[in-house]
Amino acid sequence: MNPTVFTSERLLFTPTTPTPNAIATIFAFPNDYSVGITSLGYQIVWAMLASRSDLQVSRLFTDCHEPLPLQPELLGYSISWELDYVNILALLEFLHIPLRSAERNPNHPLVFGGGSVLTANPEPLADFFDVILLGDGEILLGDFIEAYKEVRTADRKTQLECLAQVPGLYVPSLYEVKYSDLTGAIASITPITNTIPAKIEKQTYRGNTLSASTVVTEKAAWENIYMVEVVRSCPEMCRFCLASYLTLPFRTPSVTGSLIPAIERGLTVTDRIGLLGASVTQHPEFDVLLDYLAQPKYDNVRLSIASVRTNTVTQKLAETLSKRDTRSITIAVESGSERLRQIINKKLNNEEIITAAINAKAGGLKNLKLYGMVGVPGEEMEDVDQTVAMMKAIKKAAPGLRLTLGCSTFVPKAHTPFQWFGVNPQAEKRLNYLQKQLRSQGIDFRPESYNWSVIQALISRGDRRLSKLLELTRHYGDSVGSFRRAFKELNGQLPQLDFYVHKNWSTDQLLPWNHLQSSLPQATLLKHLSLF
């Protein structure tokens, strides 16, 4: 594993010299370095760990690593994608650590993890982790390290029981899951003793300063980019959207007090700035930020911006982006059907989408990228036809503007109102239909793999019985066919694929994540579900 990639890093923080008795820690990202170092969440947590003198931190990726301690006490993972599970297991094996927490002894490190995937539904991976951090690292990380220091010399059982008392720290082995039968729904999820909390509540950071890059490197997937988190969560609350529901409330730092100083720090090491967030242009002071970036002294700056709300695409925004070396802008429209957008709570009409395209072209942008989705609950074939009609209307209204429609299959996510719905088996046909209709019009159509969306849904909605399946699938080669082969081999030991992926679950059913309290209680999710 070649460590030379680290030499190109430009740090925006100063790592602390560890004390002689510092805790040997490995902080891993279950993917290549170029992917991991582009994750703002990974960067921030690494900087927090490396800034503590009580820790000796080494980074680990699937293709490279820093010098690793012979006997680490802590092994942490930052996880942001369900399908990286295979690399979680591979890195455990690389470190000669048993895959399952139940098989580890005092000579093995405590394996902890965090990130959006684990916060949403850790259960399919629960057997592989000793501790899972539910929520925002700004709060959880320090609490976890301080609590561990208190029991550093204790036996493993004592360590886990003490850590389980810290708000937001979930110790899966201290909870027993029972099933109505091996292939049926969950019957109960209870702590093994009455000293363990029955519910674990996600911890939410409510500060006025959000995240910005702690390292810039040419080896990142987004070369030499300095990222600034402009907003956290999204006020729109589309009923399928994990990025909104899981991360509530919507938070916006001050432009002059936080965002501009952060950008100025980044410009000392690079000329490429990325503005991140689920709905960047809905920052209440976004125009102030835009005016700041439009100053002539920043004419050499390359500006990238995450997906923006459609009705905020003004000619001024497009002109500023165009002058800052941006060629395209991305908007999420989900569907061309206004009826369907009402179902999912997407407050948007077709006139606004067409206006956005006209403004993008008038402002000098060359490309407009749209995100869509098929298989959304309530969707009919007529709605898919309306997506085709919408794309044709955009092309007619803004001739010469290159159009791209990226399209995914609806995947149910925990802690959202649509968590009870399964994947629509008709979605694959609808993706193929859109491809045929749009490419004949000269519109670039980029569908996500339906088959991998099915696997994503499996992990997104799964329970602990999947740990056997994940181990077996990896053994068979981590392909869609390997999942089906593993299901066949485990027939009778867990539910069929259809149960997890395609079935609409009863709202009375005990969900795998029922013992984990997110931003909104289930009663509120049910209320939002009943509104469509």
Over residues 108-112, the mean pLDDT reads 98
pLDDT of 1: 55
Same domain as 79, residue 137: yes
Same domain as 270, residue 189: no
Would 419 be classed as within a structural domain? yes
Over residues 474-486, the mean pLDDT reads 91
Q: Is the pLDDT of residue 166 over 60?
A: yes
Q: Is residue 178 packed enough to be buried (19+ CB in 10 Å), middle (13-18) or exposed (0-12)?
A: exposed
Same domain as 125, residue 1: yes
Same domain as 232, residue 200: no
User: 96 pLDDT band (50/70/90 cuts)?
Assistant: very high
pLDDT of 433: 98
Same domain as 462, residue 353: no
pLDDT of 502: 98
* C-alpha distances out from residue 240 to 45, 54, 67, 435, Å: 28, 41, 42, 23
* pLDDT tens track for 179-216: 999 999 999 999 999 999 999 999 999 988 999 999 99
Q: Is the pLDDT of residue 146 over 80?
A: yes
Tokens of 183: 């292939």
Same domain as 467, residue 518: yes
Q: Is the pLDDT of residue 296 over 70?
A: yes
Domain ranges, residue 10: 1-205+453-532
Would 154 be classed as within a structural domain? yes
Query: Nearest 5 degrees, angle CA 528-CA 81-CA 35?
Result: 135
In the chain, % of residues over pLDDT 90 = 95
Q: How many domains does the chain have?
A: 2
User: 3 pLDDT band (50/70/90 cuts)?
Assistant: low
Would 150 be classed as within a structural domain? yes
**Residue finishing a domain among 402, 422, 448:** 448
Angle between helices 286-293 and 315-323 (to 10 degrees): 30
Same domain as 244, residue 330: yes
* The residue type at 108: H
Q: Is the pLDDT of residue 510 over 60?
A: yes
Same domain as 244, residue 308: yes
Over residues 138-155, the mean pLDDT reads 97
Same domain as 458, residue 428: no
Report the chain's mean pLDDT, rounded to a whole number.
Answer: 96
Over residues 72-91, the mean pLDDT reads 94
**Residue finishing a domain among 429, 448, 467:** 448
pLDDT of 477: 86
| 366: CATH | 3.20.20.70
Over residues 330-349, the mean pLDDT reads 96
Would 214 be classed as within a structural domain? no
Task: Tell me the whole-structure pTM to 2 decimals.
Answer: 0.96
- Name the DSSP class of 135: B
Structure-model confidence comparison of residues 212 and 477, the more confident one: 212
Same domain as 391, residue 313: yes
Among candidate residues 63, 53, 96, 92, the one with its CA nearest the CA of residue 76: 92
**Residue finishing a domain among 425, 448, 471:** 448
Over residues 333-359, the mean pLDDT reads 96
* pLDDT tens track for 6-39: 999 999 999 999 999 999 999 999 999 999 999 9
Same domain as 45, residue 71: yes
Same domain as 112, residue 68: yes
Would 89 be classed as within a structural domain? yes
User: 279 pLDDT band (50/70/90 cuts)?
Assistant: confident
Q: Is the pLDDT of residue 386 over 60?
A: yes
Q: Beta strand 186-191 with 175-179: parallel, antiparallel or unpaired?
A: antiparallel
pLDDT of 2: 59
